Chain A
Amino acid sequence: MFKLPDRMEEIWLLKAKGLREIDIAENLDISKQAVNKALKDARTKLFEMFLSLAEVFGFEVVRINAEKGFMVATSRELKKRIYFFYIPKMGIRAFFEDSKFPEYLLKHSLELGLTKNLKKEELIEILET
């Protein structure tokens, strides 16, 4: 399963929620350098995960955001948009544009500040702009 190590995930999630590196360091009682290193590693790992998925399944990559942990891609076979999200403790989850977005995904997007409401349309608008 594509998943970040627990500690790295914790640091990445705090940053994705908008905390500054210095605040994360204070919260977790670690050095700012350790936070910075963990975030760099997390970004690289997320890029690698998303790009590997796209390569293996032959998806056309449109957008990869390692800061908030999502990828927008297109399935060449189905000619459909697919949205990938890195969800803490779950790993990467994929959703077709015409599928129902589960509540946990909408809540996750709200927590990260991607959206202001629990609405699929709002989330897609953000991802596609």
Chain B
Amino acid sequence: MINMKLKDVRPMNFSGIPFVLVVISFTIIIVLPRVTPENYWPFWIFGWIVLFASWGTGAEVEKDFIVLKYVFGKLKIKIPFSEIEEITTINKLQKGTIAKYFKWEIILFMILVAYALFDLIILPHGLLKGYYFGDIGLIVFGLFYISAFTIPFSKKKITGIFTYSFVLLAVLMLYLKIGSITADDILMFIIMAFVLTVAIWEVYSVEYVVIRTPRRLYLITAKNTEEFIKALWKVAQNVQTT
């Protein structure tokens, strides 16, 4: 029997209970402050805790199962090896995209962008600029993740072009909303471009592995899938002999 920790492997929150937690946290963090502007802080903090809980903390092999850990290691999702139908490193496919496998994640980001755009349109003039930047930031980062997950990994440059064009879109949105752009605003957009650069690096610095069973899809990231594949090989051999 094999028991081993899978090094540098992190389960993503794109399906099942973790995805439900993401939807709940997004709703609490983004929508609640608009619905109940007063006394939303405790809920807002709770929303962030829920979001952190949805993040995978690690993965390991336990006998004939791949175990994905969530909710600060308290929630264990066990995938029987014999039920796995497919394992794909999406970023190594010539036309691999996350959107093909996890459409709900893309729909969630689309709803987020649509909500932020609607909110930006209905916001009155003359508010603190932070209100506008909040919505513009959501739109830009929502669009970034939609692009990064929809454009094949092999076309990284196109994602880069799209990403930085969203900063120009952000400038345009602010100008249309308040009618002027100040030096302080430019600084904010430079910071936005910098954070997007970090986001691009983060998205492309790991490998994405989809595990498909008859019932569900799971997404994990790994610094290097070689070790993960070797671990699977050991499990396969182990299952054969038992």
Q: Which residues of A contact B (CB under 8 A)?
A: 40-41, 43-45, 47-48, 51-52, 54-55, 60-67, 72, 74, 125, 128-129
Chain A residues closer than 8 Å to B84, beta-carbon distance = 43, 47, 66
A-B contact count, CB below 8 Å? Answer: 70
- B contact residues around A65 at 8 Å (CB): 85-86, 88
Query: What 1/0 flags go to B95-117 for Cβ under 8 Å of A?
Result: 11000100000000000000000
- Chain B stretch 78-101: residues in CB contact (< 8 A) with chain A: 81-89, 92-96, 100
> Considering the complex of A and B, which 6 residue pairs feature the smallest CB-CB distances, nearest first?
A40-B82, A48-B236, A128-B94, A51-B233, A67-B85, A63-B88
Is there contact, CB below 8 Å, between A47 and B93?
no
Q: Does B171 contact A (CB under 8 A)?
A: no
B180 contacts partner chain A, Cβ-Cβ < 8 Å: no
Q: Does B237 count as interface, using CB distance less than 8 angstroms?
A: yes
Bound-state CA distance A112–B232 (Å) is 26
- Contact across chains for A48 and B240 when beta carbons are under 8 A apart: yes
Which residue of chain A has its CB nearest to the CB of B83?
A40
Contact among B82, B83, B92, B100 with A129 in the assembled complex (CB-CB below 8 Å): B100
- B233: which A residues are within 8 A, CB to CB? 48, 51-52, 55
- In this complex, the member of A52, A55, A64, A67 whose beta carbon has the largest number of chain B beta carbons within 10 angstroms is A64
| A contact residues around B81 at 8 Å (CB) | 44, 47
Q: List 9 A-B contacts (CB under 8 A).
A: A44-B82, A48-B233, A51-B233, A60-B226, A62-B92, A63-B92, A63-B93, A65-B88, A128-B93
B240 with A128: CB separation less than 8 A: no
* B85 A43 Cβ-Cβ under 8 A: yes
Q: Which residues of B contact A125 (CB under 8 A)?
A: 95
User: Across the interface, do B93 and A129 meet the contact criterion of CB distance under 8 Å?
Assistant: yes
- Asked if A62 meets B93 with Cβ closer than 8 Å, knowing A47-B236, A55-B230, the reply is yes
For A54, list chain B residues within 8 Å (CB): 229
CB <8 Å contact, B87 and A64: yes
